Amino acid sequence: MYNKGLIIPGLVVFVFIATFPLWYNGLSAGTAPKPEPPPGGEKTCVAPKEVMRSQHMVMLNQWRDEALRDGLRTAVPADGKEYRKGLQLACMSCHTNKDKFCDACHNYVAVQPYCWSCHLAPADIAAKKEKP
Amino acid sequence: MDNNRRSFLKIAGITALAGIGAPVAAHLSSSPAFANSENNAAAQTGHEAAGESEKHSGVRLGMVIDMRKFYGQPDMLDKVIASCNKAHNIPHIVDGNGKTDRKSEIKWIWKAPYADVFADQWVEQSVAHPSKTIAENDFLVLCNHCNQPACVRVCPTKATFVLKENGIVAMDYHRCIGCRFCMMACPYGARSFNWKDPRPYISEYNPNFPTRMRGVVEKCTFCEERLALGQQPACVEAVQDSNAIVFGDLNNPESQIRQVLARENTIQRSPAYGTQPSVFYIV
């Protein structure tokens, strides 16, 4: 191997820099977020907890396509209640605190879903109502 | 060598002729002019029957606006417009002086003078001679939910499309890339572009409807979301007592809208464009 003296230290420096964020945090990802359960005390969602955790984004996309493009706006039953398909109509009716529910995890994993550029969080709606 | 080349060219020429000639021959023999006359007639009636059923199958939602009930009552027009604006979180965009910003304005249903609404019939004052009532009153205008929508044809992402169930020209804001082709295509100016974030210009939100974001095109959707709940469109509901706007299925001869259309003389906006608008006016 030519230039062994340069390449090996170079690789060591590269690996150190590339993994620096991990070292810096002491190989810990910080405390995992705990999204707030519905303040209203609802216990049953439209799907089991595990499914919602891993698949809620898929479900929202399906709802979107069904409601907007296929005209299937039938309500979704859960625990004797019926929820109309939609982020504002279904999800936020129980999970009224976006900061403590949606953002808790999304901020932790650094994803920025574009839902909120159009859809209204309950806090947005309340803020407008207070104004004269 | 010469001889070989000569025979090769001959074979190549014959092959090329056969290649070109075969499809032409096949096409000619299958075309109606050469086909058996009996088959031809059967095919034609079959085609007509299919066309007939296609024309009347399914729901095509439409609207009749009885302008006679709005004449001399600008408040009523404003009431209709306000009900729509409220239901759909439509911003009222104002410029620095607090006036409506005509450039960034968002309109789903709005009012305009006869000359703008029925431009092709106006031509020139000296030729058209509209009645005094027509000339002095504003008209309600909205998306015509055309049967042949030009906007849908040009949309590169299918963000605007026709709902098969009811013929509504719908919008999917998730897909809109803001290219504004649809705005160029629409002969009725029924589409508005969000030049800026609309939220600061909305005074109060309807919690059951989203807003839009900067960079998408929006328009009237015949209150698709209200129809799903069994409600009438917001504008229809706003003037329900006077029955000034009739909404219903244009394909159903029994529907109220068809009764009105059968009874009254109605006009459409610029029918000559061939877009086949679903909004009719009694003027």
User: What ipTM is given for this predicted complex?
Assistant: 0.79
Q: Please give chain A's pLDDT, 132 residues, in tens.
A: 888 999 999 999 999 999 988 888 877 777 888 888 888 888 888 888 899 999 999 999 999 999 999 888 888 888 778 888 989 888 998 898 888 999 999 999 989 999 999 999 998 888 877 655
Contact indicator for B256, B61 with CB cutoff of 8 Å:
no
Cβ-based contacts under 8 A for chains A and B:
46
Q: Provide the shortest C-alpha distance from residue B252 to chain A (in Å).
A: 20
pLDDT, tens digit, 9 for 90 and up, residues B204-239? 899 999 999 999 999 999 999 999 989 999 999 999
Name which of B164, B205, B224 is nearest A125 (Cβ-Cβ). B205
pLDDT, tens digit, 9 for 90 and up, residues B129-178? 778 888 889 999 999 999 999 999 999 999 999 998 899 999 999 999 99
Q: At residue B16, does pLDDT exceed 60?
A: yes
Among the four given CATH numbers 3.30.70.20, 3.90.198.10, 3.20.20.70, 3.40.50.410, the one describing domain B61-282? 3.30.70.20
Report angle CA B71, B73, B79 to the nearest 5 degrees: 120
Predicted pLDDT of residue B101: 84
Between B154 and B30, whose confidence is greater? B154
Give alpha helix (H) positions in B73-223: 74-87, 114-117, 119-122, 125-128, 132-136, 150-154, 181-185
Tell whether B177 lies on the interface with A, counting CB pairs under 8 A: no
Predicted pLDDT of residue A78: 81
The Cα B22–Cα B15 span in angstroms is 11
Q: Provide the shortest C-alpha distance from residue A39 to chain B (in Å).
A: 18
- Give the residue from B2, B30, B4, B269 showing the smallest Cα distance to B150: B269
End-to-end CA distance of chain B: give it in Å, rounded.
86
HEC per residue, B26-83: HHHHHCCCCCCHHHHHHHHHHHHHHHHHHHHCCCCEEEEEEHHHCCCCHHHHHHHHHH
Q: At residue B49, does pLDDT exceed 50?
A: no
Determine which of B70-79, B85-94, B103-112, B125-134 has the lowest per-residue pLDDT on average. Answer: B125-134
Q: Do A73 and B225 touch (CB under 8 A)?
A: yes
Average pLDDT, chain B: 86
Q: Provide the shortest C-alpha distance from residue B8 to chain A (in Å).
A: 60
Contacts of residue A51, defined as CB under 8 A and 6 or more positions apart, other chains included, come to: none
- The tokens for B249 are 């299925």
The Cα B218–Cα B209 span in angstroms is 14
Report angle CA B190, B191, B194 to the nearest 5 degrees: 150
Predicted pLDDT of residue A72: 87
In this structure, are strands A76-78 and A81-83 parallel, antiparallel, or unpaired? antiparallel
Contact indicator for B71, B133 with CB cutoff of 8 Å:
yes
Name which of B172, B199, B202 is nearest A69 (Cβ-Cβ). B172
Predicted pLDDT of residue B117: 87
- The tokens for B95 are 């410029």
Contact indicator for B64, B260 with CB cutoff of 8 Å:
yes
Span B47-72, mean pLDDT? Answer: 74
> What is the SS3 assignment for B174?
coil
**Is B272 exposed, middle or buried, given 0-12, 13-18 or 19+ CB atoms closer than 10 A?**
exposed
Predicted pLDDT of residue B33: 53
> What is the SS3 assignment for B243?
coil
Q: At residue B246, does pLDDT exceed 80?
A: yes
Report CA B21 to chain centroid distance, whole Å.
45
Contact indicator for B140, B109 with CB cutoff of 8 Å:
yes
> What is the SS3 assignment for A128?
helix
* Per-residue DSSP letter, B126: H
